[in-house]
Amino acid sequence: MRSRNLLVIFIVLMFGVIGALYVVGCSAQRAAAGMKTFVYACAADAQKLDPADVDDTESAKVLNNVCEGLVRFKSGTLRVEPCLAESWSISADGCLIFFAIREGVKFHDGTPLTAEAAAWSFRRQMDAKAPGHFANARFPFWQALYGDIEEVRALDVQRLQFKLKRPNAALLASLAIFPASIVSPKSLADYGEGMQRHPVGTGPFKFKEWLPNEKIVLDANLEYWGKKPKLGRAVFKVAPDNATRLALVQSAQGGAHAMDSPDPNSLPIITADANLRLAQAPGLNVAYLAFNCRKEPMTNVLLRRMASAALKKPVFAEVVYRGAGVEAHSVLPPPVVEDIISDGIRAAGLTGAKPPNTNLVDQTGEPPFDVEQARNLIAQMQMVTKTVKVATNDLFGLPITIETNVTERVEWPPLKLHVMAHPQPYLPDPVRAAEMVKADLETTGLKIEIVTNEFSAHLDSLRAGQYDLALHGCASNNGDPVSFLSMLDPQALAAGGAILASSHGDEELSAAIAAARTEMDARKRLGIYRRVLATLRDRLPLVPLAHATDRVVVRRNVKDFILQPTMEVRLGPVSLK
């Protein structure tokens, strides 16, 4: 009898436990169901959903909500802060970095985050024999951003070590962007190469489904280690047409809550709509006019300065960018300049107002443009002295031939201005930009011929130094200053990372850029950048023209959406009224 009573009690208890679990499960489901769905209208579909093997912004927007790195940028800034690593330390020589992995974090598949699991996400990129290094994968950022990493290994369950070939001042910033995201090693066993379409990370949202060219759906991760997401679901809806995206975000029925890449022509409509707000900030990019300093006549720095002074940069920024750009005073975008200065101030232990000696970019502007002075300079440069033979008579009237020097003006053939055919993030209307530059320069008496090429052919012509002048630009993922300066570095050209080195070849400049790469002291790095920018302004191998402004249109019932300098789309803190 006692045994039977015990059995009854056991059965009752089991049902109680099962019931409790059911209630908890239902409560979690109800919590998710009660949370709202956020729709983000995208200009294009993702390429893949493997953070290590994508280089497009649409894929990154999704992955930034599913996967996380050891570190991240503090929201709204380029300041690196802890993420999956609670802390880190760097050896005195800058060649070892130690990370303390956050305890208690789980991947979306339930497996724990460990130092070994984190190491796998790097090994699969750097080692062709490692599991997960797929034959068709390119890992496009590895060599450029992470090539100085020699070894990644777990010291124990929660400690991770990076061994570097040389110090790399930008590595922490590079670890804060999506190619360094940590994904679950178990996803390789579960999905094989299909893991590239089914990401398993640790982020505030979990992957649910992908309907190609239609939408990608994410569900809230209610077990997220950080602040729990306020949305129940996030949908990245593909709408390539600008007008369609705008109509979706204007819809009161909730077609979309946000859209990116608005057409500048739509700005009056957007700003007039009381239900919409325009989030905007200077982007991590620069458009510039490059001079071929190894090819006559642009070898003459006085001519380059005259050409620079002739450019109406404020008008250029307004017309070409239609309100979506700002005049450039440096190749470094404003957020990067601010970050460098902040680093230098903190490293010096200074607080309060910015000391006067921390100015990085000279914004005094060019000297006033004098068209007559410019034309006189060109006329002088075009004067050519040559020796000619002249038939004459000597004192006795006998015919002789003598040699004499004759100076005459020989006009140059049109200078070739190379430009890409289609818009780029840093240059939304390349052909119009080339027309404006041509018009400005021709006021000096120069003749300009525009040469338009498809983007790949345009890059080839720049690398080969086939241009006299060229419109081009640069965009950065990690906000590192060297990513903007490397375009003038012969060493980077040899590694395939620069395009303009053949136009300058300045050894002093190259040495300074190399020093900035490896200098770990922020105060010394500030000094290096100041010298590099002063050298660029003095020798003028290029003229910075404008920085494109990043813009996202958001409905006013969206709360806590912050436009990130890197254009990450972070939906964890976002809520809907």
* Nearest CA among 162, 153, 15, 37 for reference residue 98: 162
Query: Is 28 within a domain?
Result: no
Query: Is 268 within a domain?
Result: yes
Which segments of 288-391 does DSSP mark as H helices, in order? 301-310, 313-321, 334-347, 371-381
Domain count across the chain: 3
Query: Is 187 within a domain?
Result: yes
pLDDT of res. 120: 98
Query: Is 25 within a domain?
Result: no
Q: Of the ranges 7-16, 314-323, 380-389, which one carries the lowest mean pLDDT score? A: 7-16
User: Which residue is listed with tokens 């989030």?
Assistant: 279
208 and 84 in a single domain? The answer is yes
271 and 291 in a single domain? The answer is no
- Across the chain, mean pLDDT equals 87
420 and 293 in a single domain? The answer is yes
pLDDT in tens, 447-463: 999 999 998 899 888 88
* CB crowding 374-400: b at 16 or more within 10 Å, else e: beebbeeeeeeeeeeeeeeeeeeeeee
207 and 226 in a single domain? The answer is yes
166 and 265 in a single domain? The answer is yes
What CATH number is given to the structural domain containing 139?
3.40.190.10
Query: Is 80 within a domain?
Result: yes
φ and ψ of 204, to 5 deg:
-70, -10
70 and 192 in a single domain? The answer is yes
Average pLDDT in the 175-200 region?
97
525 and 398 in a single domain? The answer is no
Q: How confident is the model at residue 338 (pLDDT cuts 50, 70, 90)?
A: confident
Residue 527, pLDDT > 70, answer: yes
Q: pTM for the full model? A: 0.81
Collapsing DSSP to helix, strand or coil, 238 comes out as: strand
DSSP 8-state secondary structure symbol assigned to residue 113: P
Which of 139-153, 194-208, 362-376 has the highest average model confidence (pLDDT)?
194-208
H/E stretch holding 456 reads helix 455-463
pLDDT in tens, 48-89: 999 999 988 899 999 999 999 999 999 999 999 999 999 999
292 and 394 in a single domain? The answer is no
pLDDT of res. 291: 93
> Structural domain of residue 457, as residue ranges?
285-371+412-550
Identify whether the C-beta of residue 184 lies closer than 8 Å to the C-beta of residue 111: yes
C-alpha to C-alpha distances, 544 to 309, 312, 391, 476, 550, nearest whole angstrom: 12, 12, 54, 15, 18
292 and 244 in a single domain? The answer is no
Q: How confident is the model at residue 464 (pLDDT cuts 50, 70, 90)?
A: confident
Residue 15, pLDDT > 50, answer: no
Query: Is 3 within a domain?
Result: no
Average pLDDT in the 353-367 region?
54
229 and 318 in a single domain? The answer is no
> Among the three residues 409, 426, 461, which one is the final residue of a domain in this structure?
409
Query: Is 376 within a domain?
Result: no
Average pLDDT in the 251-259 region?
87
420 and 396 in a single domain? The answer is no
61 and 154 in a single domain? The answer is yes
Query: Is 88 within a domain?
Result: yes
What CATH number is given to the structural domain containing 421?
3.10.105.10
Q: How far apart are CA 276 and CA 247, in angstroms?
A: 12
